[in-house]
Amino acid sequence: MQAFTATSASRIPAALAMRGVSALPRGADEAQHAARQRFARGEEVFAEGDAGTYFYKVVSGTVRTGKLLADGRRQIDAFHLAGDVFGLESGDRHRFTAEAVDEVVVIAYRRSRFASLVHDDPAFGEQLMAAMLTNLDRAHDHMVLLGRKSALEKMASFLLDMARRHPGADKVVLPMQRTDIADHLGLTIETVSRTLTQMVRDGLIRLAEAGRTIVLADKAGLQLLDA
Amino acid sequence: MQAFTATSASRIPAALAMRGVSALPRGADEAQHAARQRFARGEEVFAEGDAGTYFYKVVSGTVRTGKLLADGRRQIDAFHLAGDVFGLESGDRHRFTAEAVDEVVVIAYRRSRFASLVHDDPAFGEQLMAAMLTNLDRAHDHMVLLGRKSALEKMASFLLDMARRHPGADKVVLPMQRTDIADHLGLTIETVSRTLTQMVRDGLIRLAEAGRTIVLADKAGLQLLDA
DNA sequence: CGAGTTTTTGAAGGACATCAACGTCTGTGG
DNA sequence: CCACAGACGTTGATGTCCTTCAAAAACTCG
């Protein structure tokens, strides 16, 4: 596991790949300078080092953002679900990679229009600011997880977080595979797998659909682990 | 080491402690609604859960921000040096704690004045936005460190980062003690200490002044470790 | 100088990684 | 619809990096 890109996906820089822009009726979010884009499982939205021409808001599906070290080690800093904003950064180049975890639709906004966008639509500006601050909050929480939690606690926190962010009952349908979870939690896939089976043994969760669906059987028990 | 607060420091919520506001002539940064505050070593600027009335910019000294788990485990997400902005968050309450590592002077800005501040002084708004994005970038880098680097790599990255952010030659005068470094890097103080002595043995660094000053003897060697 | 704090060093243990093999699922073509 | 290949996930055995527990050394400040 050394590439950030998924196995069969081709590398298509987002800035060049404007195909996939739909002609759907535009909602309030989609003012001028915003374009809807579609990405298949494993496709790259942008890569570390790419020009940060656009930033994005997820319409549907899941996007992973993260960094890749020279020797192949990977850290996924966040999964972005519907409504989340990603790709807004300080420099003029992207400092991390963004890829589609499953079938994804995003709205791309030109960063150069950031100021005018905010000026024309202050509410949108507020929303963006809030989205960035949410990202920062999440980053802080995730640093605690990475630096100070055990594998069991990491897994419990992750599952509860996914359950909270997803609609639906105490059942999480994970869009990502074990490798992604491992690289998000700072673990190996083996430890992720072992931790999940231990949780099943302890009656905390139940697995279904090839381990992709996780029923939170004992939410209170999990919350006890979510330090 | 179970409290976030340092040993002999009293807990003084910043919002109440407006003593220490100086009458110094104000620079460009210090518009109305901005107040200079001073904190002694270990003093609390604000605590997790406090009303997020103010956000801050460091004038001099070093501030640590981070979180404390119920059982005493601590994660310091960042050290803020002169010029850095901290305490700007999404909710109306602070989600983490901020404390003075050494003698610190900050400028406190009312968050409620954020909009008008930005309106009256667009350059200041730009600066703030940039500061936040810098914080986010740093958070991303730190997640890679916490999730995927070895103790040696963590220490090398930390030292190079401190050297880069501090003025001066290849010599870092660390304002914080080992406990803070450990809680920043997701290690124990013993591992921090052992890693430093190993670096000395390997000729990468030299220690001086009770281990508080670190000379980067082999910067290239350290950069090799900074994956 | 001496008490308390901070740092270093040592010995032993444990949580997670690594290496390896097997099981299971998915999608495609016969 | 079934068979098969490749991808994905689980399980097992062993190793190692870092933690934990313990104590001594060095530093700080009255």
- A92 at B interface, C-beta within 8 A: no
CA B16, CA B33: separation in Å to the nearest integer? 15
Tell me the shortest Cα–Cα distance from A59 to chain B, in angstroms. Answer: 22
Cβ proximity of A140 and B139 under 8 Å: yes
**Chain segment B78-131, per-residue pLDDT in tens:** 999 999 999 988 889 999 999 999 999 999 999 887 777 777 777 777 788 888
pLDDT of A227 > 70? The answer is yes
Give me the CA A214–C1' C28 separation in Å, rounded.
29
Determine if strand C comes within 7 Å of the CB of A210.
yes
- A227 at B interface, C-beta within 8 A: yes
pLDDT at A7: 34
pLDDT at A142: 98
pLDDT grade for A139, boundaries at 50, 70 and 90: very high
H or E stretch at B172: strand B171-173
Residue B226: partners with Cβ closer than 8 Å, 6 or more residues away? B153, B156, B157, B160
pLDDT of A57 > 80? The answer is yes
**Strands (DSSP E) along A88-220, which ranges?**
97-100, 104-110, 171-173, 206-208, 213-215
Cβ proximity of A151 and A191 under 8 Å: yes
Name the stretches of chain B with pLDDT < 50. Answer: 1-3, 5-30
Of B71, B47, B6, B80, the closest CA to residue A148 belongs to B71
Q: Which CATH number fits domain B30-145: 2.60.120.10, 2.60.40.10, 3.40.50.2000, 2.40.110.10?
A: 2.60.120.10
Task: Kindly report the CATH class assigned to B149-226.
Answer: mainly alpha
- B136 at A interface, C-beta within 8 A: yes
Across A127-136, A207-216, B19-28, B129-138, least confident range: B19-28
What would the two tokens of residue B126 be? Answer: 């730009």
DSSP codes joined into one string, B1-45 = ---SS-TT-----TTT--TT---PPP-TT--TTEEEEEE-TT-EE
For chain B residues 137-196, those near strand C by a CB cutoff of 7 A are 177-179, 189-190, 192-194, 196
Across the interface, do A67 and B144 touch by the CB < 8 Å criterion? yes
Please report the sign of the dihedral spanned by the C-alpha atoms of residue B26, residue B28, residue B33, residue B37: negative
**DSSP-based helix, strand, coil % in chain A, nearest 5:** 35, 25, 40
- Burial letters for A186-211: b for 16+ Cβ neighbours within 10 Å, e otherwise? bbeeebbeebbeebbeeebbeeeeee
**A78: nearest CA in chain B?**
B140
Structure-derived torsion over alpha carbons of residues A35, A40, A41, A42, reported in degrees to the nearest 10: -80
Give domain limits for chain B: 30-145, 149-226
Chain D positions under 7 Å from a protein CB? Answer: 7-13, 17-22, 26-28
One-letter amino acid at A78 equals: A
Q: Which of residues 96-125 of A touch B (CB under 8 A)?
A: 96
Threshold 0.95, pTM exceeds: no
